[in-house]
Chain A
């Protein structure tokens, strides 16, 4: 094709487009049906999503529930909750009952990697989508939404290692409960980083059972033995309030770098970073996780896929909360706002 001909063709196309543009407003007044929204609505309306956390009444699980409800209820979906209140057997029983009730999807917050695994597999066989939140089981279900605990451990440890440059190199690790896989995964992440830094010496690596009072007791003892400690890697902000209290009592706030992680609730995260209790709080933002779960449910139900056919993960992008952003309105969230 010659250049002149190409130009001619281009002109014709342009002219055609101009005519079409003129004609379009007239057609738009009649409305144009979007062909996919009606089946989408039909796929969601009247369906039930069940939610089985390890327990209600704490920032993470309350936040997920409020967020998912907010997203799905406007589409005529019902979100129900079964609260096992820290009892693994009550949780397993709730899941078993739910399988016979056949909701469209179940959001599961596993207490450990094993207990629910067989049940979740059965549920997906029975046609129920399983969304696992923050704590996965060995069974990989349709979707996992949650923090990458290895990454949480690595980034917290990296921050502590950096803060320890030119100092004693002595660090302490405050683990959660030994039975919890989240704690074990985070520890693995910490180990990954520490293996690369031979100058860092771990003087204490203890489990405080997610308990602030125990964390405080352990930290106090460790600080008395090692007043030149330069950093602590904590595994959960709710527990590390105790760790921070011990650091403060020893008058070492600002000298001992405390990195922790949590769901980013304002009082538990931003306020404590602002007060200097935590130097770094890696937040797996709960409203974002809730939105991710809701999006997964919308997508799965409208896709027509069979439970168990496709499996994927949405690892939450971590928000590092430090003094720089603790004041911003987006770094943290309020439960009361989420419930509105």
Chain B
């Protein structure tokens, strides 16, 4: 049955296509090069975070602490430069902090066997609290003259394309390469599909899990640097926002199941494009905030309901650990 083959990814792609065509037809000023670039630029950071989340979710984990890594190490860069450090020093410290944080997460999950959800929930709180209490003076860390030139990462252009889009594209390429063409990538899928089988067949599951969380932390930190460069400051309060749900949304909506082992970079791109198109179209139409939430909610429900109609779950398709 042909209908059976339409999966979540296909449904979301369909919704995206319908919406895109409708906006193009009825919304003057939507389908222009300038607006398309704006659309992509506005969701680049979300997309990069989606990639980090995808690496973890494919391995049947979840990383709730991503927003803390997005906020704290890049915030530290801005703070250190403000206090007189040089940019390379500040960047190295931030990278080391992210690395340590990823290792800590990974170790707790892989070796101490604490569930990823609880580990990252707690460690994210810890990192955000640590930043607020010990690292930053104010929760919006301002840009300072010592960072001259660095804003190019968020505000510059290359061949007329805004940097955040280029960075997102590069990140997509790297993550796709990792997942599709390297051994650790294959291992991540194997672990996500069935961790016990993977271990029995000789996959070094624990180091690979650590690797996932380290990569997620580093990508998260990188996304934060792009964001800080883009808005000339680091509002570390973003940790208190609902952004992490948007990230999970991009991943799950795109068709990467939370039960692991499925999906890839393409799914993140599709999920990101859908969110970006929705936001952009509604901003052009000047839809009120509550109206936007309503539309977002309806679109999501449609996607989820359509999926469970077209791909009903049964004992055969359900996996252990399915949420």
Q: Is the CB of B283 within 8 A of A245?
A: no
CB contact under 8 A between A238 and B286, given known A217-B279, A225-B29: no
Q: Is the CB of B289 within 8 A of A221?
A: no
Does any Cβ of A come within 8 Å of B240's Cβ?
Answer: yes
What residue of chain A has the Cβ atom nearest to residue B235's Cβ? A212
Does any Cβ of A come within 8 Å of B42's Cβ?
Answer: yes
Chain B residues proximal to chain A, CB less than 8 Å: 29, 32, 34-35, 38-39, 41-42, 45, 132, 136-140, 142, 144, 155, 162, 227, 230-233, 235, 237-238, 240-241, 279-280, 283-284, 286, 288-290
What residue of chain A has the Cβ atom nearest to residue B37's Cβ? A224
- 28 pairs, A vs B, C-beta closer than 8 Å: A55-B237, A58-B138, A58-B140, A204-B286, A206-B283, A206-B289, A211-B235, A211-B238, A212-B231, A212-B233, A212-B235, A213-B231, A213-B235, A217-B42, A217-B279, A221-B35, A221-B42, A221-B280, A222-B283, A224-B29, A224-B32, A225-B29, A241-B231, A241-B232, A241-B233, A245-B232, A265-B138, A277-B232
Q: Is the CB of A248 within 8 A of B155?
A: yes
Main SS class of interface, B: helix
A138 to B42, CA, bound (A): 38
Shortest Cβ distance from residue B274 to the other chain A in the assembled complex, whole angstroms: 16
CB contact under 8 A between A86 and B140, given known A216-B231, A218-B283, A225-B35: no
Q: Is the CB of B137 within 8 A of A335?
A: yes
Q: A268-281 vs B: 1/0 string, CB under 8 Å?
A: 10010000010000
A63 to B17, CA, bound (A): 50
CB contact under 8 A between A221 and B238, given known A58-B139, A178-B289, A241-B232: no
Contact of B35 among A55, A85, A216, A224 (CB under 8 A): A224
Shortest Cβ distance from residue B287 to the other chain A in the assembled complex, whole angstroms: 9
Shortest Cβ distance from residue A80 to the other chain B in the assembled complex, whole angstroms: 18
- List residues of chain B with CB within 8 A of the CB of A85: 240
Chain A residues proximal to chain B, CB less than 8 Å: 55, 57-59, 62, 85-86, 178, 203-207, 209, 211-213, 216-218, 220-222, 224-225, 238, 241-242, 244-245, 248-249, 265, 267-268, 271, 277, 335-336
- List residues of chain B with CB within 8 A of the CB of A213: 45, 227, 230-231, 235, 238
Q: Is the CB of B286 within 8 A of A205?
A: yes
- List residues of chain A with CB within 8 A of the CB of B240: 85-86
Contact of B132 among A57, A205, A217, A249 (CB under 8 A): A57
A225 to B282, CA, bound (A): 13
A55 to B142, CA, bound (A): 19
A242 to B139, CA, bound (A): 15
Shortest Cβ distance from residue B32 to the other chain A in the assembled complex, whole angstroms: 7
Q: Is the CB of A206 within 8 A of B286?
A: yes
What residue of chain A has the Cβ atom nearest to residue B42's Cβ? A217
20 additional A-B pairs beyond A57-B132, A206-B289, A224-B34, beta carbons within 8 Å, are: A55-B139, A57-B136, A58-B138, A58-B140, A59-B140, A86-B237, A178-B289, A203-B286, A206-B283, A207-B289, A211-B235, A211-B238, A213-B231, A224-B32, A224-B35, A241-B142, A245-B230, A335-B137, A335-B138, A336-B137
Shortest Cβ distance from residue B298 to the other chain A in the assembled complex, whole angstroms: 19
Q: Which of B132, B140, B162 has the most CB of A within 10 A?
A: B140
Q: Is the CB of B38 within 8 A of A221?
A: yes
Shortest Cβ distance from residue A53 to the other chain B in the assembled complex, whole angstroms: 12
- List residues of chain A with CB within 8 A of the CB of B232: 241, 244-245, 277
CB contact under 8 A between A57 and B280, given known A205-B286, A225-B35: no
- List residues of chain A with CB within 8 A of the CB of B144: 267
A267 to B38, CA, bound (A): 28
CB contact under 8 A between A271 and B286, given known A211-B238, A216-B231: no
What residue of chain A has the Cβ atom nearest to residue B280's Cβ? A221
Q: Is the CB of A238 within 8 A of B235?
A: yes
A15 to B167, CA, bound (A): 90
What residue of chain B has the Cβ atom nearest to residue A241's Cβ? B233
Q: Is the CB of A267 within 8 A of B230?
A: no
